[in-house]
Amino acid sequence: MSLPAPDPDALAASHALQHQIAAEIARNDGAIPFARFMELALYAPDLGYYSGGAAKLGKDGDFTTAPEISPLFGATLAHVAAAIMAQTAPRILEFGAGTGKLAFDILSEAASAGIPVEQYAIVELSGELRARQELALAAFPQVVWLDGFPDAFEGAVLGNEVLDAMPVCLISKTPDGWCELDVSIADGRFVYVERPASAGTLAQIAAQVPDADDLPVGYVSEIHGVASGFMRSLARMLTQGKGGAAVLLDYGFPGHEYYLGQRATGTLMCHYRHHAHADPFYLPGLQDITAHVDFTAMALAAQEAGLDVLAYMSQASFLLGAGIGELLLRIDPEQVRTYLPQASAVQKLVSPAEMGELFKVLVVGHQVELPEALLAADRSHRL
């Protein structure tokens, strides 16, 4: 691969993390589950991708998210949150707030539109990102940071590109059945090794992978135990409150599209300096590692834990149904220098050729109803 070279400090941090991972492999009879490798690569204290100090988002980072593209993304979400809070409580809880841009845009729109937000809580695992959030949101005294799930919550919950960064289990079909791909070391490099799938993994495959027996030998994919656990925790939190809903935006598919026979190498993807590639062992700690979201598995986990599946749709349908077009028209089209960049940004958010179709939105909740304009675009029957 021809990728930009890291600076010496970044390279030293990656080497330190590699030694830490190697030590854990040695302590565990020469192999660890891929999910554990991914957890360490992303979240090891001080060295993991999300817990280290390097910039993650924007032009100086590794990828760009929807809030960075246009403030109208956050403004639109502010009105969706308003509809949820009107039925529950004037509180918002965001998981993984990135640079704080989404929170800033939501709170700015709420202030100008008269939407009451008594508290905006953020759960953030990255110390570097939390520091950026504190600077970006200094003008909003209602912002607080939490270390994890509150016991109960009433209001609107937001998660933009959160599920895709949760560790996954890699599975592979062999002539003898399903195996798990663990991580070991050979000739000084991280490598995959096969291990017969555990009973728990086989149960997850049976529950999550449609027509698993028909998939070809050599088929590799992911199952999403950590993300499913997140959905169950979300359900416990919301059902302990008097009402609330979670809006989760991410790239992915329903299960019957996720586990297609032709998608035989899975969806695991890495992002480094705006380059995408498929090698999770490249410079651990310096690159993002993600997998597409199985939205069927997420919806079922939430439903089985007591939440209602309120809606599922493409990002384009969600944003258009939530009124992003009307918000764009608040800018005078004759003010070309202002209007055209925002119109172009909205086009990127909703175009099928850009983010509009690959990104999906799942809304789950407890004792909450969505506005008719959003329900009209619901495609939850496709889950």
Do 31 and 195 contact (CB within 8 A), yes or no?
Answer: yes
Per cent of the chain over pLDDT 70 is 97
The pLDDT value given to residue 126: 81
Mean of pLDDT values over 317-341: 95
This prediction's pTM: 0.95
For residue 63, the model assigns a pLDDT of 61
User: With bands split at pLDDT 50, 70 and 90, how would you rate the model's confidence at 372?
Assistant: very high
Q: Is 139 helix (H, G, I), strand (E, B) or coil?
A: coil
- The pLDDT value recorded for residue 172 is 98
In order of their start, the domains of the chain are: 8-59+166-224+258-283 (no CATH), 66-165+226-254+292-382 (3.40.50.12710)
| Residues 95-133: tens digit of each pLDDT | 999 899 999 999 999 999 999 999 999 999 888 889 999
Cα 142 from Cα 139, distance rounded (Å) = 9
Task: Express each pLDDT in 47-102 by its tens digit.
Answer: 999 887 655 444 555 567 999 999 999 999 999 999 999 999 999 999 999 899 99
So what's the pLDDT on residue 370? 97
Phi, psi values for residue 63, rounded to 5°: -160, 165
User: Could you read off the pLDDT of 218-272 as tens digits, one per residue?
Assistant: 999 999 999 999 999 999 999 999 999 999 999 999 999 999 999 999 999 999 8
Per-residue pLDDT band for 12 (boundaries 50, 70, 90) equals: very high
In DSSP terms, 221 is beta-bridged to: 171
Instruction: Output the pLDDT for position 57.
Output: 47
Least Cα distance to 92 among 262, 224, 247 occurs for 247
Helices 101-113 and 127-136, axial angle in degrees (round to 10) = 30
- Sign of the CA dihedral running 328, 333, 339, 342: positive
b/e per residue 245-272 (b: at least 16 CB within 10 A):
bbbbbbbbbbbeebbeeebeebbbbbbb
